[in-house]
Amino acid sequence: MRIIEFSEFDSIIIYVFVVALSVVCMNNAVKSKSKYKTRFWLLMTILIASAPGFFRYMVGLDYETYYLVGERIISTNTLEYALSCWGRLEPSFGLLVYYLGKVGASANVAIGLYAILTQFFMVVGIWKYRRDVNSTVAFFVYMSTFYFRTYNMFRQALAMSIILYGIHYLRDKKYLKFIICVIGATFIHRAAIISILMIWYFRPRKKGHKWINTLISYIIPIVMAVGFEYLMRLIQYIPIFSVYVTSTSIYMTFRNESIISLGTLLLIIEITLYIFHRLKYREYENQNLFESILDKAMLFQVIYFILDVIVGYAARIVLFYSVSSIISLSSLYNTKKSLAGIGHTKARKMTIYQIFIIAYCIAQFVRIMLNNGYGQLPLNFWY
């Protein structure tokens, strides 16, 4: 195996190229009238977005840990060890590495396959909302924000992408298919089990029940995130899930960090504009299921930020709910009152919301590159 090393500047240029080219491919898929051309451009979008994740080497904060675990599984060459994975990792990763090792592949290939699957479910999941929001805009939002999280927590990122894909079943009230998605995501990352409560949480608000709506919208989400460890302790008594929750312990401590940052300012502006946009373009008394999903996802963005400052790790649990804020934020690009069938609405002049979406994505990209919070810099490729 050989390694190609890039400088931080070269790595940023590569990321700019990957984001720009994949967004262009998604836009071509949106404009294509032939289903075969559409599928081709969607495939190109997936391959381009997943290429850096597939070929990366020692890139990402948790890469080294998983790489060493994977190589240990391959060298040990026992199924029992692959299932245990030192008692810390889900056996799904161990099994993948074990069987790849049987055909001579390394742990790099396993991590790379996670990257491809993550981008597949993200791209297809975003595409499922093409009648509700502009798919190009939604994908641009994803590539500028959540995309770089996949370099730090690639197992959870894959599980989150499956949940994002599955939420469209919630919108269409196909609850059994959504439950299947949750089960599949749980075998990738145990925390995904908490997504099952979306069936209840993402429902529209009840008229005339302010205290119930307040409880569901504010109190329950915090209890869900902070109390996840205790939920896992209950689930461990279910035989089929017991292996996933052995020795579960969530890191929770006060994080004494400054909250005044570019990310904070962007979040405040994002939430403010979203509220004004929703007040202007919707009627609250006629809120439907999809609108409820949009609003609750944005609410989780706020909860995620607060928990990230206060208790750290618990905020990662909230990500399964806030990942759908990609679609919520993209809805700011819409300019009609109805949320149905506005995916490709064209306005003569750009609105302040549309300008904000573009500026927001660029600012988030710059912030992430400067902070290097996910260990995405510098890039190293194996071949």
Per-residue b or e along 273-304, where b marks 16 or more CB atoms closer than 10 Å to that residue's CB: bbeebbeebbeeeebeebbbbbbbbbbbbbbb
pLDDT score recorded for residue 297: 78
CB atoms within 10 A of CB 314: 22
Angstrom distance (rounded) from CA 73 to CA 80 = 10
Closest CA to 44 of 27, 63, 65: 27
Residue at 238 is within a domain: yes
- Give, for all 383 residues of the chain, the pLDDT tens digit: 899 999 999 999 999 999 999 999 999 999 999 999 999 999 999 999 999 999 999 999 889 989 998 999 999 888 888 887 644 556 788 889 999 999 999 999 999 999 999 999 999 999 999 988 899 999 999 999 899 989 988 999 999 999 999 999 988 889 999 999 999 998 898 888 888 888 877 776 666 566 666 666 656 666 665 565 556 556 556 665 555 444 444 443 434 444 456 667 777 788 788 777 777 765 444 456 677 777 777 777 777 667 666 655 555 677 787 788 898 888 888 765 434 344 444 445 778 888 888 998 999 999 899 989 899 999 999 98
Q: Going by C-beta distance under 8 Å and a sequence separation of 6 or more, which residues neighbour residue 212?
A: 206
Residue at 378 is within a domain: no
Residue 69 amino acid letter: V
Write down the pTM of the prediction. 0.83
Residue at 286 is within a domain: yes
Q: Which domain holds residue 257?
A: 3-373
Residue at 259 is within a domain: yes
Contact yes or no for 164/201 (Cβ under 8 A): no
Angstrom distance (rounded) from CA 185 to CA 176 = 14
Q: Going by C-beta distance under 8 Å and a sequence separation of 6 or more, which residues neighbour residue 1?
A: 106, 108, 382, 383
What number of H helices and E strands is found in the chain? 19, 2
Q: How far is CA 272 from the centre of its chain?
A: 22
Angle at 297 between CA 293 and CA 303, to 5 degrees: 145
Overall domain count for the chain: 1
pLDDT score recorded for residue 34: 94
Residue 168 amino acid letter: H
Residue at 382 is within a domain: no
Angstrom distance (rounded) from CA 99 to CA 96 = 6
Partnered with residue 4 across adjacent β-strands are 381
Residue at 380 is within a domain: no
Residue at 383 is within a domain: no
Angstrom distance (rounded) from CA 327 to CA 240 = 33
Residue at 67 is within a domain: yes
pLDDT score recorded for residue 235: 59
| Helix/strand/coil percentages in the chain, nearest 5 | 70, 0, 25
* Strand 380-382 versus strand 3-5 pairing type: antiparallel
What is the signed CA dihedral for 158, 22, 302, 296, rounded to 10 degrees?
-70
Q: Going by C-beta distance under 8 Å and a sequence separation of 6 or more, which residues neighbour residue 137?
A: 330, 333, 357
